[in-house]
Amino acid sequence: MGRTSRLVAATISAVAVVSACLATTGSAVPPDPARAWADATLDGMTLEEKVGQLFVTYTYGRSADTPHPQNREEFGVDTPAQVVQKYHLGGMIHFSWTDSLHDPKQIAEHSNGLQNAAVNSGAKVPLLISTDQEQGQVTRIKEPATQLPGNMALGAGRSAEDARRSAAITGEELRAMGLAQNFAPSGDVNVNPANPVIGVRSFSSDPGLAAEFSAAQVRGYQEDSNVAAAVKHFPGHGDTNQDSHTALPVIEHDRQQWEQLDAPPFREAIAAGTDVVMSAHIVVPKLDDSGEPSTLSRNVITGMLREELGYQGVVVTDSLQMDGVRQMHPDGEIPVLALEAGVDQLLMPQNLQVGIDGVLNAVRTGRLTEQRIDESVRRVLEMKARRGVVENPFVDVSKVDEIVGSPKNTGDAQTITDRSTTLLRNDANLLPLREKQKRVFVTGAGAGATKSLAERISARGPKATALETGLKPTPEQINQAVEQSKGNDLTVVLTNAAWSESNASQLDLVRALQQAGKPVVAVAVRDPYDAAHVEEVPTWLTTYSDKAVAMESLTKVLFGESAPAGKLPVPVPDPKTPGTDRYPFGHGLSW
C-alpha cells in the first residue's frame, strides 16, 4: 500500500475509533466515519477536483500506463492513468470494446494501476471502478469469470436466495478484480413483450417478484461481496417497444400504474439499502409534465425518487451517449441539467471535456452553486468509504485466480441455472429423449450456443453436429439446415428473439425443420415469446440464456438427468389472439 493510501486508511480508521468511543461513553449521536471522512476530504478539494468526482467514463488500453490512440483522440492524453489525472475522475467503467477486459489478472493489474494514478494526484481520492455485469444478455467479463443466465432465468427459478447468491458470486469476482461498483440489477418490470432493450434483463412481469429479487440482489452485492449495487432504470423501463439507446421512449403509465407496476422494485431496493439508483432516458408524460427525459427531470429525480420514495443515496445517469438523452440538448448542457434534476454521477458523457466544462461554467456563472456540487460529491465520497475503496483501493493480484471462476462459484452457478430451464410444451411426449436418438442435429441462432449444446449432447453418447444459422437465416441457410437434418434422428433448433419482425426468418427455419419429417425440439434461448409463434412444433423449451451454463442445464433436461423446474416469470401472449396468453404466467411442465 502506498503512502497516500495508508494516510487515507488511517484517517477513516481514526474516525471509526472516535465513533466507537463515543458510542461506548453514551455521548451524543456518534459521527458516521464515512461522512466524517467525506466532509474532511471535501474541504480540501478544488472546484475542478469536485466536479471530476462526479464523472464516470471509459478509457482505452490493457493497463493504466498503456498508450492508446483513442485516448489521445477523445481525451487529449495517451494513457488511462493520464485521463484520471487530467480530469480528476471519480469513476471508471470498463468494456471489452475499450480493450480493458481480457483476463482476471490483467483486469486486476489494470485496476491497481488506475488506483495508483488516482491516489497520487489531485485530491488523492481512489476511483470507483465499475462495469455492467448484469449476467445473462449483458455480461461484460467473460469466462473464466463465472457465468450466470441472467435475471429472467432467476425469475423462472423462483428462488430469491438464488438471486442473492448469483449477485454475491458476481460481486465477489468483480471485487477481486478491483471493481467495486456494478450497474446492476435491472429492476424494470417487463410487462411489454415487444420491449427491445429490457426483455430477459428483467426478473419478471410481476412487480412483486421483480421487487423481491431486486432487493435480494442488492443484498448479494453489498452485504455479501461489498460491491455497490445500482438498481435501474428509474422510474421504470419495462413497458416500451423502443430502445433508449437509439430513441426517446414514451411510457404512458399513469400514477396508479406506476405505483402498482414500476415502483415496487425501486421501493424494495431502497429499503434494502441500494447504494445507487440509475435513471432512465424515457419520457413519462402522465407523471411528469416537464417534457424532459427522466434523467434530466427534477420532477422525476428529486420529486419522485428522493422526496416520494425517500431515497438519499447516489443517483447515476444511464450513459449520456445514448440518443434518448441527447435529442433535446447540446452535450455541454446535459450534465448541468442532470445535476439540476438531482443526479450525482454522470456516466459516459459524449465528450468528457465538454461535459466537465459545462458544469464548471454553470458554477462560475451562478447557475449551479458550489454547495449543490458538494452535495453530490459528498454522496459519492461516502459511497467509496462505505464500500472500503478508501481504506484499501488495491487488490491482491496473486489471489485473483483463486476467486474468479472458482469451483465453488461455478458449481453454484450451475445449480442455480439448473432450476431455471422451463418446459413449455411436450405434446409428442418426446422428452426426455430415448436411447434411439443416435444422431442429433443442433442448429439455429448462436455459434457458441449451438456448438456448446452439440458438445454436451455428444458427451452423453449420441453423435451431435452443429450448424449455426444466425439471427436472420437466409433461404439458402434454411435449405442447408433442412437437408442436414434429414440424416439425423432428432433436430434441436435454437431461437433468439425470433418474435421480432427483423428476426422472423428464424420462424421460417423452425417450420421448415418441422416439415422435414424428423422430430424437432425447439428452444427459445432468450425471450420465451418465440414459442407462441410456431404451433406446428409440439416440443418447446426456454432457457432465457444462450450461455454454456444454460446449455448444460438444457442438456440435463433433454436426457432426463434433471426435471425441468422453471416456471414462466412472464406470460407468453398468443400472437394470433391479442389479449390472450398462449402460455400463462407460472406455466411450466415437468415429469
Do 391 and 524 fall within a single domain?
Answer: no
Three cell numbers written together for 261:
407496476
Whether 591 is covered by a domain: the verdict is no
> Is residue 268 included in any domain, yes or no?
yes
Nine-digit cell string for 191: 410487462
C-alpha angle with apex 425: 558 to 510, nearest 5 degrees? 80
Question: Residue 429 contacts by C-beta under 8 Å, 6 or more apart in sequence?
Answer: none
Q: What is the CATH number of the domain that holds 483?
A: 3.40.50.1700
pLDDT at residue number 434:
82
pLDDT of residue 29: 58
Per annotation, catalytic residue among 318, 344, 374, 418: 318
Same domain, 565 and 534: yes
589 occurs within a structural domain: no
Provide CB contacts within 8 A for 80, sequence distance 6+. Answer: 59, 60, 61, 63, 64, 65, 66, 68, 71, 92, 110, 113, 114, 117
Burial class (CB in 10 A: 0-12, 13-18, 19+), 154: buried
Q: Do 387 and 464 have their domain in common?
A: no
Is 379 found in the same domain as 519?
Answer: no
* Residues 60 and 91 placed together within one structural domain of the fold: yes
| Domain at 233, CATH number | 3.20.20.300
**Residue 10 domain boundaries:** 3-407
Question: Do residues 440 and 397 both lie within one domain?
Answer: no
The DSSP bridge partners found for residue 467 are 443
The answer to whether residue 376 is domain-embedded is yes
- Give the pairing of strands 572-573 and 581-583: antiparallel
Last residue of a domain, one of 407, 434, 455: 407
Final residue of a domain: which of 373, 407, 441? 407
- 412 among known catalytic residues: no
C-alpha cell belonging to residue 311? 431515497
**In a shared domain, residues 450 and 350:** no
Residue 415 lies in a domain: no
CA distance 573 to 586: 13
Could you tell me the maximum CA-CA distance found in the chain, to the nearest angstrom?
A: 82
- Could you tell me if 232 and 188 are in contact, meaning their C-beta atoms sit under 8 angstroms apart? yes
Q: Is residue 588 part of a domain?
A: no
Give me the residues of the chain with pLDDT under 50, please.
1-27
Instruction: Give the chain's domain count.
Output: 2
Backbone angles phi, psi at 464, to 5 degrees: -115, 135
Q: Give the pLDDT score at 30.
A: 65
At 17 the pLDDT is 38
Question: What pLDDT does residue 463 have?
Answer: 97
Q: Active site residue: 243, 245, 331, 489, which one?
A: 245
Residues 500 and 459 both lie in one domain: yes
110 is catalytic: no
Among 265, 197, 277, 269, which Cα is nearest to 237's? 197
In a domain, 38, yes or no: yes
Q: Is the domain of 299 the same as that of 247?
A: yes
Last residue of a domain, one of 354, 379, 407: 407
Q: What is the pTM of this model?
A: 0.94
Same domain, residue pair 339 and 488: no
pLDDT on residue 10: 41
Beta bridge partner(s), residue 567: none
pLDDT in tens, 495-554: 999 999 999 999 999 999 999 999 999 999 999 999 999 999 999 999 999 999 999 999
- The residue to which cell 477523445 is assigned: 74
Say whether both 483 and 402 belong to one domain.
no
Q: How far apart are CA 227 and CA 181, in angstroms?
A: 5
In a domain, 279, yes or no: yes
Same domain, 401 and 435: no
